[in-house]
Amino acid sequence: MQTYTMDDQRPFSEKIIEYNRRLDFHGALPAGVRVMNPYRENENAFEVSSAFYRKYYADTRPRHLIMGINPGRFGAGQTGIPFTDTVRLRERCGITGYTGAETRELSSAFVYELIAHYGGEERFYGDFYFNSVLPLGLVAAGRNGREVNCNYYDSRELLLATEEAALENLQTLVAMGFETDICFCLGTGKNSQHLHRLNAQHGFFGEIVTLEHPRYIMQYKLRSKQLYIDKYLEAFGKTGHRA
């Protein structure tokens, strides 16, 4: 586990970049499942994500955590930035150093529409930081031989194999200095259940506010998208930050 101390006054950008550089998984996974670590597998992902964090996080202002499940192949799996695909990275964040294949992700589309309603990238990222309960992606071979995304809770075996890594990740994020009065959880099912369980055991956060996952909204509730954006914005207001 990475260690941080209360007297570490570096900007969040440098702490996050260090966190990404050191991020690794040492456990044994079920057969057919592998870890996807963009910071180890793609040097370009580390470079563009570092540029992103130095653009939006080069200060010490307090931020609240928004916790996803685990990174997917077409968002953070390519860019190293949760809920940011390559199109949004270039067009919305102005980061142009990415050289790989162009990707579009449903979750990223929702998140950046939400960010626009909040007041834009600088304002949003000045108040919040995206991470995931399990900070590295998981993939397995699909029926056609192509890799498909896995969730850390897809089987009991996988959940147990990733439990220690998820716990260490939460400990690290709290130690980095993010706000702990309220944490936001994306995913109203198993992700919420497991994050609440870990929080009950270890007391990381005073309150966890659960919201529907962006991918669920885009796949199944598209006609009600604005209602969910409004729900997110109302929830974010609990922190004292206002859109």
pLDDT in tens, 187-221: 999 999 999 999 999 999 999 999 999 999 999 99
Asked if 2 and 19 touch (Cβ cutoff 8 Å), the reply is yes
In a domain, 156, yes or no: yes
Indicate whether 1 pLDDT > 60.
no
In a domain, 6, yes or no: no
Residues 6+ apart with CB under 8 A from 216: 187
Give residue 120's region: left, alpha or beta (phi > 0; psi -120 to 50).
left
In a domain, 3, yes or no: no
Indicate whether 3 pLDDT > 80.
no
- pLDDT band for 19, please (50, 70, 90 cuts): very high
In a domain, 164, yes or no: yes
In a domain, 1, yes or no: no
CATH code (residue 227):
3.40.470.10
In a domain, 10, yes or no: no
In a domain, 159, yes or no: yes
Give the residue-averaged pLDDT of 102-107.
92
In a domain, 64, yes or no: yes
The full 3-state SS of 84-134, as one line of letters, equals: CCHHHHHHCCCCCCCCCCCCCCHHHHHHHHHHHHHCCHHHHHHHEEEEECC
Indicate whether 77 pLDDT > 90.
no
Q: Which domain holds residue 204?
A: 15-236
Strand partners, 68: 132
How many structural domains compose the chain?
1
